[in-house]
Structure 1
Amino acid sequence: MSALLPWIAVAVTVVAGWALVKRFQTHLVLLFAGLAILICVALMGDASFLPKGVKPSGFWLFDIFATFKNIATKQSAGTGFLIMTAGGFAAYMDRIGAAKALVDVAVKPLAALRAPYLVLAGGYVVGQILVMVIPSAAGLAMLLLVALFPILKAVGTSAASAAA
């Protein structure tokens, strides 16, 4: 019976890929794909899908909820803290005027290049370096929006290219 699980996983992955290509809501597609695979594993009586520290309850539906609760708690604690820290720093920088001071200091030498899209490429490199330090995409976006976006706008790039 467990030999069927890889085929079920492939089928669910194909359906999820099709739904993503058809522009269905990404979060919901991935959530329901994961839940479908969890339900299939639970119905086959395999309790190996439970995370460490979660004891089987004896009823497959409760085991799925326990798994979902455990994963959501672990993810939101780590990721939520990173997002709040980066967002708080970005708001603090904006509130005390440090973001505006950074723009004033950085624009003069960067404007001398007379190549705003070269500055944009440099901003991309800075963003990629910061990804190693700030793994949260939302936190990095807030930080770059406060620090880098105004610099790119002041140098002369369009709002759309600076936001990208």
Structure 2
Amino acid sequence: MIKRVAIYCGSRMGNDPQFAEAAAALSGYLAKQGVGIVYGGSSAGLMGIVADAALAEGGDVIGVMPDNLWIQERAHKGLTQLEFVSGMHQRKARMVELADAFIALPGGIGTLDEMVEVLCWSNIGDHNKPCVCFDVNNFWQPFFTLMEHIQQQDFAHHQVPLLKATQPAELLTLLNEHAAA
């Protein structure tokens, strides 16, 4: 059973209002289901939306922020817990340690980096926690196309499935099914 998820997402809002709506709907839903959230600790962009929506529903929200980002990403002041770490490598490792599963919402290169790294760690056996992209308006479809291309070109090893969901309830069901397997 999934108790806490890591959510990777943008510290910016993006240009589609549905990104913010989806971030709020997902984190609010997870909080109502008793699922805690760990994320990058920022009050900016989709990251702030994720935290605020979960907190508004009484959710447990842990932020993990590298020391060098706390000013430019504006650390969220109202979290259940805010941890500062020395750098991005420590942030990624700590989020993996705290979470039972990983979710990518729309975001930039940092979001992509975090999801790809956690997926790689799963593929080499460092963890067996499910990874899912919350695909708002097909935001992640080009990434799934690239993943298929990598597999077709025979560069993929034993590929751990990268899951995709478009609704909060569907996402939580997928995570719980894959966590139980």
Fold shared, TM-score > 0.5 on shorter chain: no
Q: Which has the larger helix fraction?
A: 1
Q: Which has the larger strand fraction?
A: 2
Q: Tell me the TM-score normalized by structure 2.
A: 0.20
Q: Tell me the TM-score normalized by structure 1.
A: 0.22
Structure number with bigger Rg:
1
